[in-house]
Structure 1
Amino acid sequence: MTGAVLEAVLAELAALEDPNVRAANQKRGDDHGVNLARLREIAKRLKTQQELALELWAAGGTAARLLAVLICRPKEFGPDELDTMLRQSGAPKLQDWLVNYVVRKSPHAETLRLAWMADPDERVASAGWELTADRVARKPDGLDLPGLLDTIEAKMKDAPGRLQWSMNTTLARIGIEHAPLRSRALDIGQRLGVLKDYPTPPNCTSPYAPAWINEMVSRQQRA
């Protein structure tokens, strides 16, 4: 039964392929041409279907795997499965969705966070730092925040793209959420200058950590 459904869904995704969307996505390193709003509409219609999600992932293709992420049951994956899926998720958007929509909800998230942060693969390590940034904001108990700042201070400047971005996110989260460490986080961000010149559209918050920290703290104080 799922085989027929799989073929129908893959055909639907193929029909949604838009060269303009693909061209825009390619500028961000993503390799699919399906509008994400349309993709979410399909997921809403299909609802949760773990078997179909597994088949979509196995079929390959970023659009199919993005849809798989939206309809799967995160708690049904084992740690080895999630590790394999992460290493297969080359597109930045796919890795982002996998980490935030699946791994973060998994009972294995903390085990994977620690393992991935130490991984020599930049993409895998960046996923570990994304999970760390999430923990800094939501469940910081047990984290060595000063130790994280030490690592960021020593390694973020020369870290490759994705890893640098994730470390910078962690730096900003520490500065935003933990007032006693805010001045140090600001100092590290200012001295390293990472993403200082990142092009930021009007009315959007810059990813440059000092600007990001100050903007979010200002919003908290106005609330």
Structure 2
Amino acid sequence: MAAVDDVLAELESLGTEQTRKTYRRHGVGDNQYGVLYSALGKIEKRIKVDHELALALWDSGNHDARVLAAMIADPGQADPALLDAWANDVDNYTLGDAVSTFASSTPLAQETAERWIESDRELVAAMGWNMLGTIATKDRDLPDSYFDRLLSRIEVELADSQNRVRYSMNNALIAIGLRNESLEQTAVAVAGRLGTVVVDHGQTNCKTPDAIAYIEKTKAHRARRKK
């Protein structure tokens, strides 16, 4: 295992005030170095998987270290206690994206997502919906009925859900709609009835995708690639 102090020192050396300023606009607090994701990706490529190091980096409390921890942790060594502990530590949606990506790669993905979407905590519930979107993309064994139930729930609950939960629900709707033609029809109908999904992105330039337009655009892109 690489020495955690050495990795933290490397992360600190790679941080810039410009990146810290950008991350602050996305809700990241002061305990950060401001390391670009491209630099984190290079470190991940070098380290590959190191679960013990990941745990130590997470325990540092530093934002960049925690994002890297989620990138190098071993999915096979995750258990519900670890996933829930990390989820409960998440204090901004960018870290939430990293944790939900890791959790989606574990054998516990489906049960974790189903548990997290029931959370009263905005970021935890949003992570659960992020994961359900990933599951819709990657898990080919689940029946359409599973996703039909999720689409029904999205239609009923999205408008009254918390800000980041609305965003993640909308993304899950898109992912489900791209799973197959049958689910696409249902997802597009749900999106039409929901109308514009309003999400407050704060001081960032982020936009909430229009589900119907995004599904059509992605379908067209896939068709071009097949040719």
Please give the TM-score of this superposition, normalised by the length of structure 1.
0.86
**Which whole-Å CA distance do the structure 2 matches of 1:125 and 1:206 have between them?**
18
Equivalent residue number for residue 112 of structure 1: 112
Equivalent residue number for residue 186 of structure 1: 188
Task: Give the direction of change, closer, same or farther, for the CA distance of 1:84–1:131 in structure 2 (3 Å limit).
Answer: same
Task: Give the direction of change, closer, same or farther, for the CA distance of 1:196–1:184 in structure 2 (3 Å limit).
Answer: farther
Detail structure 1 runs of 4+ shifted over 6 Å in the superposition.
Answer: 196-199
**Which whole-Å CA distance do the structure 1 matches of 2:149 and 2:48 have between them?**
42
Structure 1 runs not aligned, ≥5 long: 200-204
**Which whole-Å CA distance do the structure 2 matches of 1:29 and 1:197 have between them?**
15
Task: Give the direction of change, closer, same or farther, for the CA distance of 1:206–1:156 in structure 2 (3 Å limit).
Answer: closer
Task: Give the direction of change, closer, same or farther, for the CA distance of 1:119–1:58 in structure 2 (3 Å limit).
Answer: same
Q: What do residues 192-211 of structure 1 show as CA deviations (whole Å, max 9, x unaligned)? A: 22347999xxxxx9711011
Equivalent residue number for residue 137 of structure 2: 137
SS of the equivalent of 1:106 reads coil
Identical aligned residues as a percent: 30
Whether 2:49 is the aligned partner of 1:51: answer: no
**Which whole-Å CA distance do the structure 2 matches of 1:39 and 1:147 have between them?**
37
Equivalent residue number for residue 85 of structure 1: 86
Q: Is the 1:198–1:208 Cα contact (8 Å) retained in structure 2?
A: no
Query: Which is further off, 14-23 or 25-34?
Result: 25-34
Structure 2 runs not aligned, ≥5 long: 202-206
**Which whole-Å CA distance do the structure 1 matches of 2:45 and 2:85 have between them?**
26
Equivalent residue number for residue 40 of structure 2: 39
Equivalence map 1:194-213=2 (5 Å): 194-195=196-197, 207-213=209-215
How far 1:60 sits from its partner (Å)?
A: 0.9
How far 1:156 sits from its partner (Å)?
A: 0.8
Q: Is the 2:164–2:199 Cα contact (8 Å) retained in structure 1?
A: no
- The higher-RCO structure (CA 8 Å, 6+ apart) is 2
Equivalence map 1:5-84=2 (5 Å): 5-31=3-29, 32=32, 33-84=34-85
SS of the equivalent of 1:171 reads helix
Task: Give the direction of change, closer, same or farther, for the CA distance of 1:20–1:137 in structure 2 (3 Å limit).
Answer: same
How far 1:78 sits from its partner (Å)?
A: 1.3
**Which whole-Å CA distance do the structure 2 matches of 1:206 and 1:126 have between them?**
14
Equivalent residue number for residue 218 of structure 1: 220
What letter matches 1:158 in structure 2?
Answer: D
Task: Give the direction of change, closer, same or farther, for the CA distance of 1:64–1:198 in structure 2 (3 Å limit).
Answer: closer
Please give the TM-score of this superposition, normalised by the length of structure 2.
0.84
Task: Give the direction of change, closer, same or farther, for the CA distance of 1:123–1:109 in structure 2 (3 Å limit).
Answer: same
Equivalent residue number for residue 164 of structure 1: 166
Q: Is the 1:157–1:194 Cα contact (8 Å) retained in structure 2?
A: no
Equivalent pairs, count: 216
Alignment RMSD, CA only?
A: 2.5
